[in-house]
């Protein structure tokens, strides 16, 4: 049902998507990772606005993205129903509940794709971007033993400038685990490594654009 609803939204939403976003997609290495995702994976992306999720739906249009979404988005019933139909994973940032982690793992174990915005919130004016990453993406990737696909977006939606996205090569986070570090230290190390990768993708995109 969730997959069907996603396809329905993508088909009906394609014309306005082309007008509003018209996203140009670039690649770190298209032969290694293009827009088609094979098997279970976690997609991470920097967070520029609430429209990032909509953009990613069409960037990876062949897969159903089960996105972790903040509790604030579920406060209005019409939107909450829509997000649930889309398969949104409810995350209450003010509670200590880790239910969203277990749900994400279950989706991945069934071969699905989970999308995470590791910054957890939108940056405020003047804050360095991207914000420090929360540990959930690294933690889930380690537990579920799935690759992480990093993505950078410039967030140019609803503007005269074209939205541009670059897809990075999948990352096997287990390669960065060290027995010399504790579990918490490994997760923090990997989280920072993923953040640095997003920063690197921004630099790669700018280089491709001749900036």
pLDDT digits (tens, 9 = 90+) for 55-77: 999 999 999 999 999 999 999 89
- The pLDDT of residue 22: 83
Higher-pLDDT residue of 20, 117: 117
User: Angle between the 136-144 and 99-109 helix axes, to the nearest 10 degrees?
Assistant: 40
**% of residues, the chain, pLDDT over 70:** 100
State pTM to two decimals. 0.95
pLDDT digits (tens, 9 = 90+) for 134-188: 999 999 999 999 999 999 999 998 887 889 999 999 999 999 999 999 999 999 9
């Amino acid at each position: 049902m969730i997959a069907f609803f996603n396809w329905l939204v993508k088909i009906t939403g394609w014309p306005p998507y082309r007008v509003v976003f018209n996203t140009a997609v670039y690649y770190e290495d298209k032969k290694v990772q293009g827009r088609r995702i094979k098997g279970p994976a976690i997609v991470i992306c920097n967070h520029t606005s609430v429209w990032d999720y909509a953009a990613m739906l069409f960037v990876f249009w062949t897969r159903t993205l089960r996105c972790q979404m903040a509790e604030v988005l579920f406060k209005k019933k019409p939107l909450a129903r829509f997000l649930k139909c889309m398969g949104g994973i409810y995350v209450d940032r003010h509670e200590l509940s880790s239910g969203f982690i277990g749900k994400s793992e279950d989706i991945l174990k069934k071969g699905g794709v989970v999308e995470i915005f590791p910054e957890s919130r939108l940056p405020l004016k003047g804050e360095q971007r991207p914000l420090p990453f929360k540990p959930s993406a690294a933690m889930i990737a380690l537990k579920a033993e799935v690759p992480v696909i990093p993505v950078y977006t410039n967030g140019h939606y609803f503007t005269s400038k074209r939205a541009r996205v670059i897809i990075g090569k999948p990352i096997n986070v287990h390669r960065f685990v060290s027995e010399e570090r504790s579990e918490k230290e490994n997760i923090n190390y990997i989280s920072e490594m993923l953040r640095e990768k997003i920063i690197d993708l921004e630099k790669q995109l700018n280089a491709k654009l001749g900036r």
